[in-house]
Amino acid sequence: MNCKRCLTAFRKAVLLIITLISVCSLNGYAQDKKEDYLKVGGALRYNIYDKSWTQDKSEPKFAWDTWRLNVDARTSGVDLSFEYRFYPGDDAHFIHHGYLGYALNDDLYMKLGVTQVPFGITKYASHSWWFQIPYYVGLEDDYDAGIKFDFTGIKNLTLNIGYFRQAEPNGSPDYSARYSYDITPSEEASVKELNQFNIRATYQLTKDIEVGVSGQFGQNYNSVLEESESSTAFAGHILANFGKFNFKGEYISYDYGVKDNEGNSLDKVQMGAYGYNYYVASEADIYVAGLAYSMDVDCGPITNIQAYVDYSIIDKRKTGFKSSQHLIPGFLITAGSIYTYVDWAFGKNNAWLGSWTNGLAEGTPDADWESRFNINIGYYF
């Protein structure tokens, strides 16, 4: 069977479905003109941290994490949502999201622009400030440029279909200056993501239990070879609330097909965000689990404390590549519009926790567990 031909046929079929849904939904539907509005907000966040893998005598450090601008508006029934972020410590700035939204009917909502890719657990597969490890390979809270439809017309079922022409635009000149992780060009492989289709379905088994499946089908285009390789990812997930407990579980399988400029298939691919690049295994399975317990409190401005532990692991398929692990115990303190994450993050062969360039690719057989104690204080307005 010709996989590329099947993938092309699938893309055409999904694009046809999207077109038919749009035309049929607009026919005879009178948009309920809700009141126009404009809201401007943002956030300011700081970090206090101490890393185990550095010899920096000035740690622990107090650092400016980020500030951001948010705009939400509606005019003539068309919604706007926009967010732009600045990271002074990384000398990077970029769009987080920016889209126009429109209710085609009571059951179908369209978003056009830079929006969250419907894949796996949304909005986050994590409880902590650190995300889970799928984020660092582009499979959690990912944002790309395209069009998405959210359908809720069947009881207990939500269906998301999206087509994304390309990754979100970079902010500063560096191609890796972006919020979410995408494949970035390197010296050996002039590659970028193109023509990605996503399908995600979730079903509410009960009021407190959600199950879902996701599929992602795209291309990694090499501008030197002028050809593309197929890129796929699949996920199954469960979300469950039991009283004050919340559980998030997910399994992901991905295959980032990519060739270098000489036409050789690669076992690892460069990915980037926040102005930095590192390598990721091209094929792997990911296992995710997180448990949280929420407590209402009455202590000055503090109204809630949520304790949690998140764990995820990348099991790489290439022989000799070592697994990457991610363990985050911590708690979130809520005080009005101030949210404080207190995390003690542990990682093994983990890019952001001590193993930068190749930790998420081949890794190191005798890698140690590294840690970072981190307090993130954010005021959201």
Query: What's the rounded mean pLDDT across residues 224-243?
Result: 97
Among candidates 351, 375, 353, 371, which has minimal Cα distance to 362? 351
Is the pLDDT at 216 greater than 50? The verdict is yes
Question: What's the pLDDT at 1?
Answer: 43
Question: What's the pLDDT at 58?
Answer: 80
Among candidates 273, 168, 282, 266, which has minimal Cα distance to 232? 282
pLDDT band at 28 (very low <50, low <70, confident <90, very high): very low
Give the gyration radius of the chain's Cα atoms: 21
Is the pLDDT at 203 greater than 80? The verdict is yes
Contact 207, 20 (CB under 8 A): no
Q: What is the number of structural domains in the chain?
A: 1
C-alpha 234/C-alpha 251 separation (Å) is: 8
Question: What's the pLDDT at 10?
Answer: 57
Residue 37 neighbours by CB distance under 10 Å: 10
Whether the bond between 33 and the residue before it is cis, its omega within 30 degrees of 0, is no
C-alpha 118/C-alpha 199 separation (Å) is: 7
Q: What is the CATH number of the domain that holds 214?
A: 2.40.160.10
In 29-137 the beta strands, taken as DSSP E runs, fall at 37-51, 61-75, 78-87, 92-105, 108-116
How many CA atoms, within 13 angstroms, populate the side-chain half-sphere of residue 19? 6
Lowest-pLDDT range of 11-15, 95-99, 215-219, 319-323: 11-15
| Residue 154, Cβ density class (10 Å: 0-12 exposed, 13-18 middle, ≥19 buried) | exposed
Q: Which domain holds residue 272?
A: 3-380
Is the pLDDT at 4 greater than 90? The verdict is no
Here the tokens at position 157 are 């079922």
Is the pLDDT at 244 greater than 50? The verdict is yes
Give the neighbor-by-neighbor strand order of the sheet with 182-183.
Answer: 182-183, 268-273, 276-281
**Whole-prediction pTM value?**
0.92
Average pLDDT, the chain: 93
